[in-house]
Structure 1
Amino acid sequence: MTEARLQAFAPDGLPEISAGADLAGLVAKHTELRDGDVVAVTSKVVAKAEGRVRPGPREDAVAGETARVVARRGPVLIVRTHHGLTMAAAGIDASNVASGTVVLLPVDPDASARSLRERLRHLTGANVAVIVTDTAGRAWREGQTDMAIGAAGITPLEDFVGRVDAHGNELAVTRPAVADELAGAAELVQGKLHGRPVAVLRGRADLVLPPGEHGPGARALVRDDTSDMFGYGAREAVVRALAGQPGDRAPFGAPAAPEDLAAALVQAPGVREVVPSEDDASAHVLADTPAGVAVAAICFAFGWQVDTIDDTTAGIAVRVSPVTT
């Protein structure tokens, strides 16, 4: 009988990591690696080895690691980092580090993973994949889980699109984020309080690429702004749509189809009619005068812009068109 098996183990005994530490050397010393293993290393020890520890409170470091704020609730900030990751407090951590200091994320986690992979190959002769992991919360779900923020030697997404299941159904959108799944499995044996920042996962050698082929990295898991349906938190989306600053457009995504815009506009109080042009290059909106603010905000959120507003005896006539880059 054949069976699928995944083994995960995390060694004890790694010392406290400081700037300049030979992290790959420590991994090689405390593990027995085989071809096809996946080595998961927490971003915290990678960052410590790379000298990413800073003095001061976490709040003081967030701004420098933030590309934009996604959402806030009181002192809690969810931001998009310069890596493209959406995380609380830009992934900056004040745990398992000397009091009065914080650890930033690695500057380039994919590059860190590639360096570790190459060094482990040199030290052990084993062809392994490396993932750099970090902990994050998830929208709509309580608790946190680990995910891959850096990867080398592995394709982080399996693509099942076009394949057929056992019932003959063609798969259309199935793309397992295997690097994230492995990161979560690694965390189960690492734990948060046991001083085990490294885990080895064995049993998915089919995911490991040949030596010298590093793959696209964990960056391939980051959804870009044009396809991100949740670029802002609920409150922030309302405020930014009303403010209508050009620099806030991208997280709302690419311009929506005219019929989608029309369906949204007719829900606004005071909007009476929306007539798209035959070529979908513009639309005309007839509305009561007070509805002008709502029309502008909805258009902004849908990637359209207000071109002209004309007063009429019955209210306003607004011409809108998709934003072009």
Structure 2
Amino acid sequence: MSPVEIHVVPGLPEIRPGDDLAAMIGDCLEKAGLGLRDGDVLTSAHKVVSKAEGQIVRLADVEPSAEALAYAERLAKDARKVEVVLRESVRVVKAFRHPGQNEGTMICEHRLGLISANAAVDESNTGEDGTVILLPRDPDASAERIQQALEQRFGVSIGVMLTDTFGRPWRLGQVNIAIGLAGVPSVKSEKGKTDAYGRRLMVTEPAFADEIAAASGLVVRKAGNTPVTLFRGLEWEKTQSRAAEMLRPAGEDMFR
């Protein structure tokens, strides 16, 4: 088994709506002497993609609904941000404010099916005060556009993933997860294979895409302007998987 390399792709400038992100990533890869090889996987924090696609909302332009005002009062949150969260959500799973907490929390099911705090609406690294950034409208399609452009430019076969940082309900801290896939398997099924002692594996399915996303967090720094990472040496086969495949079906939700 070959070693796995993780490289930060340096030099990406501030991204603005309308920028050709794939071309900019390609330029950075060349300047860093990294290029691309068959089997490489690129991960990108979704925010640079969201910025390029104009998924930024000015809070001054938001008129809170009655529902947003009610949540805002209960949770001590900005009603305009709550309104954006509600627009991005199909339902509020839970809303709470613990004693001593300055601001409450909204756990929401995003229109893409992801369940996270504030429907992934974020105020950090937006590039402008008084704005919030949303997830891309179609993260898989966004990843695929970057993949196709870079494959054509470098003459290689690669995978591309978009990531976001999510908390875990029963563990402290956050990790990156995959929210958009192009070519990269969502999971790798080990069912039917055997363990080191010859026992047949019945349910083992490593979350391949999420494992890569989490590993990218080891080198990406929010204050370092290094949202793109290159993985080299991974063992994988190209597929047509989509990020939605990693969502657990509602019928298997043990906590509803």
Deviation at 1:208, TM superposition (A): 4.0
Unmatched tracts of structure 1, length 5 or more: 232-325
SS in structure 1 at match of 2:17: coil
- Percent identity over the alignment is 40
* Other structure's SS at 1:207 match: coil
CA–CA separation in structure 2 for the residues paired with 1:9 and 1:180 = 17
Out of 6-15 and 128-137, give the one that drifted further: 6-15
Separation in 1, partners of 2:172, 2:5: 27
Q: 2:161 aligned with 1:142, yes or no? A: no
Q: Provide structure 2 residue ranges, at least 5 long, that are not aligned to the other structure.
A: 30-34, 60-79, 98-103
2:43 corresponding residue in structure 1: 40
4+ runs deviating over 6 angstroms? none
The answer as to 2:96 corresponding to 1:66 is: no
Give the conservation status (yes or no) of the 8 Å contact 1:50–1:106: yes
Match of 1:105 in 2: 135
Considering Cα pairs closer than 8 Å and 6+ residues apart, tell me whether 1 or 2 has the greater RCO.
2
Which position in structure 1 is the counterpart of 2:64?
A: none
Residue 94 (str. 1) matches residue 123 (str. 2): yes
1:205-260 deviation digits (Å, cap 9, x = unpaired): x3141xxxx512111101121111134xxxxxxxxxxxxxxxxxxxxxxxxxxxxx
Match runs of 1:298-309 below 5 Å: none
The answer to whether the Cα contact below 8 Å between 1:34 and 1:126 also exists between their aligned partners in 2 is yes
Which residue of 217, 239, 246 maps to 1:221? 246
1:111-190 to 2 correspondence within 5 Å? 111-190=141-220
Verify: 1:14 aligned to 2:37, yes or no. Answer: no
Q: What is the TM-score when the length of structure 2 is the normalising length?
A: 0.84
Q: TM-score, normalised by structure 1?
A: 0.67
Separation in structure 1 between the aligned mates of residue 2 and residue 252 of structure 2, nearest angstrom: 35
Kindly state the Cα deviation for residue 11 of structure 1 after the two structures are TM-superposed.
2.1
The 2-side partners of 1:171 and 1:82 are apart by 34
Q: CA deviation at 1:4?
A: 4.2
- Structure with bigger gyration radius: 1
> Which structure 2 residues correspond to residues 186-225 of structure 1 after superposition, within 5 A?
186-204=216-234, 206-209=235-238, 214-225=239-250
Secondary structure in 1 matching 2:91: strand
Q: Tell me the matched-pair count.
A: 224
User: 1:55: Cα distance to partner?
Assistant: 0.5
Distance 1:108 1:230 in 2: 28
Q: Is the 8 A contact 1:129 1:208 kept in 2?
A: no
**Secondary structure, counterpart of 2:141 in structure 1:** helix
The counterpart of 1:50, out of the listed 49, 53, 65, is 53
Q: How does 1:227-246 map to 2 (within 5 A)?
A: 227-231=252-256
Counterpart residue type for residue 46 of structure 2: S
2:124 alignment partner AA: S
The alignment partner of 2:119 has SS state of helix
Identify which of 61, 80, 93 aligns with 2:109: 80
> In structure 2, what is the Cα distance between the partners aligned to 1:12 and 1:230?
42
